[in-house]
Amino acid sequence: MRIERTALADLAWGAAFLGSGGGGDPYYSLLLAEAAFERSGGFELIGLDEIADDALVAPCGWIGAPTVSVEKLPNGNEAVSGLRRLEAIMGRRIDAVLPIEIGGGNGLAPFLAAAELGVPVLDCDGMGRAFPESQMAIFNIRGLSACPSIVTDASGALAVIETTDNDAHERIARGLSVSMGGIAHMVEYPLSGAQAKATAIPGSVSTACAIGAAVRRARADGRSSFAALERAVEATGLYPYCRTLFDGKIVDLERETRGGFSVGRVIIEGLRSSSRMMIEFQNENLAAWGDGVLRAIVPDLITIMDSETADAITTERLKYGQRVRVVAAAAPAQLRDATALSFVGPAAFGYDTPFVPVERLNAEIAA
């Protein structure tokens, strides 16, 4: 399937929603992808069933604090230089690339590299959303190795990491992103085609495109973007539940860049009520409480959106006084089993509350 220019913008919109507040603002990634589109005349997106089992498949994306990515622009060659190094290490060409996470700018990041390498993008990703840490990828949950991984920066510096411990890999890569100026590109979890088929979240790139397209059409027709979003997300099958949790105005915001992450919390107050929703984040939105009652928690998706434009607002773009809607969606089933929850569930983020699916949390409240 060819990804045309309109689909690119749809993908950016859908990826921003699936980012759950993280993955980096898609704005620059979209600009870079559009420029690459002009040069290359379009991108090829292929399904997991179209790749050979013995293919070499490379997940890639940006690592670092999104607060920094807003200010520090890429040089455009980071991904290609990392991917070329992976080819040198593996002694063979890469057959396809995929986003390590579909959420945020990282959902578009591989298109640029794909165009330069002349390879397709695989219609799948490693997180089904965005997560703040590398070992939260489904590839780690399924026992695959992150290494060799290659971290590159805008100055042309490159580092190859090798360790059999994916937690150590995350620490090392995070440290590199900090010492490389707060943001860096990473090629990690090199996969065979068979491994990608067995583990990746399937169809997430085309799903993000479909979500973006549905909202674009609703806007053009003067229909509600939010209603279209909820319907489109649930129609994908990958995210079987989607609802608006809250509508209000940001009345309190704490955010700092700590250990390579944007960490903080935001409080949203109802426009015509004293009802409040508090959301905590670490790059991504992690948990939302409405008047002290849990309404959604990782790995389920929580996205704060501009009430007027219906655009997703990444955590680094949150501002006091913004009018926002909080939309939550059920995470893909792969992220909700007991094994996956030990990597990406509440406990993995330091919460002692057990995971409760967003559809259950909100059914109980409605009852």
Long-range contacts of 271-279 (CB under 8 A, 24+ apart): 271/247, 271/323, 275/246, 275/248, 276/248, 276/251, 277/245, 277/246, 277/248, 277/326, 279/304, 279/326
Tell me how far, at minimum, the Cβ of 150 lies from a second copy, in Å. 9
Instruction: Give the nearer residue to a second copy in terms of CB position, either 148 or 270.
Output: 148
Q: Which residues pair with 304 in a beta bridge?
A: 326
Q: For a second copy, give the closer residue by CB, 67 or 303.
A: 67
CB of 274 to a second copy, least distance (A): 44
Are 162 and 147 spatial neighbours (Cβ–Cβ below 8 Å)?
yes
- The least distance separating a second copy from the CB of residue 116, rounded to whole angstroms, comes to 19
Footprint on this chain of a second copy (rule: CB under 8 A):
155-165, 168-169, 171-172, 174-176, 178-180
The b/e string for 106-130 (b: 16+ C-beta within 10 A; e otherwise) is: bbbbbbbbbbbbebbbbbbbbbbbb
Element containing residue 362 per DSSP (H, E)? helix 358-366
Note whether 322 and 252 are within 8 A (CB). no
> What's the CA gap between 268 and 326, in Å, rounded?
9
Place of tokens 């809250």: 246
For a second copy, give the closer residue by CB, 159 or 218.
159
- Of 148 and 357, CB closest to a second copy: 148
C-alpha 134/C-alpha 264 separation (Å) is 20
List the alpha helices (DSSP H) in 180-324: 193-199, 204-220, 225-235
Min CB(225)–a second copy separation in Å: 42
Closest approach of a second copy to the CB of residue 342, in Å: 21
Question: Would you give the DSSP letter of residue 253?
Answer: E
Residue with tokens 């559009």: 34
Least distance CB 171 / a second copy (angstroms) = 5
Task: Count CB atoms within 10 A of the CB of residue 5.
Answer: 13
Query: Based on CB atoms, which residue is closest to a second copy, 60 or 328?
Result: 60
- Nearer Cβ to a second copy (74/193): 74
CB of 155 to a second copy, least distance (A): 6
Rounded-to-integer distance, Cα 159 and Cα 161, Å? 6
Query: Which residue in 126, 103, 96, 121 sits closest to 111, CA to CA?
Result: 121
Query: Residue 29 or 67: which CB sits closer to a second copy?
Result: 67
Nearer to a second copy, 146 or 288 (CB): 146
Does the bond joining 299 to the residue before it have cis omega, within 30 degrees of 0? yes
Q: How far apart, in whole angstroms, are the C-alpha atoms of residue 165 and residue 147? A: 9
Looking at the Cβ atoms of 172 and 215, the one nearer to a second copy is 172
User: Residue 155 or 273: which CB sits closer to a second copy?
Assistant: 155
CB of 160 to a second copy, least distance (A): 4
For the bound state, the minimum distance from the C-beta of residue 74 to a second copy, rounded and expressed in Å, comes to 16
At its nearest, how many Å lie between a second copy and the CB of residue 357? 35
